[in-house]
Amino acid sequence: MVNHNTLAKFMVQKGDLNELCQSLFIMKSPKQNYMELNQFIWNNYKESKEGQEVIKLFEEGYLDDILSKFAVDKNKNLDYYLNILISIIDYAEIPEGIQLKDLYLHILEEGLKGFDDQKEEEFDIFYPEEYDYIISVIEPLSLALFNYKEEEMEEPIYIPYFFL
């Protein structure tokens, strides 16, 4: 959903409002309009001070730095989120035969177990079909999945989700 106040600010900063609206919306399909509007907003965000800081954080920061920024900005419980992130990255047992691209669906349907070598015990990180809980912790879950990358791939499969 578009924040119309933000869009209006961008439009005013970039010049003639009528010209911009015509260039975005005349003689184009709804899909083209939507894609161009998204690109327009992204391009302006990348030029903003906040956008540049966040992009730099993703390029140079560690996962806990990224999570810290978003958890603090949204008044989330950072220690709880870091615990989830660490549980997934350090202890998760990714079942054999599960491709990385299918891992999120596997977690939703089957849950995710971890194993603590020091305590020599298995524990549940996520229980099967616990959708409400997984949505409530989507930030650290998506960031942990972003951390995983298959060797032959240059780009991660999962993108961190911080927009709830």
| Structure-token pair, residue 7 | 């869009």
Q: What are phi and psi of 95, to 5 degrees?
A: -60, 145
* pLDDT at site 27: 57
* pLDDT at site 52: 86
Q: Which residues contact 148 (CB under 8 A, 6 or more apart)?
A: 100, 103, 156, 157, 158
Q: Is the pTM of this model over 0.75?
A: no
Rounded to whole angstroms, how far apart are CA atoms 101 and 87? Answer: 20
Rounded to whole angstroms, how far apart are CA atoms 84 and 147? Answer: 13
pLDDT tens digit sequence for 115-128: 988 889 999 999 99
Q: Which secondary structure element, helix H or strand E, spans residue 104, and what is its range?
A: helix 103-110
* pLDDT at site 14: 54
Contact 13, 6 (CB under 8 A): no
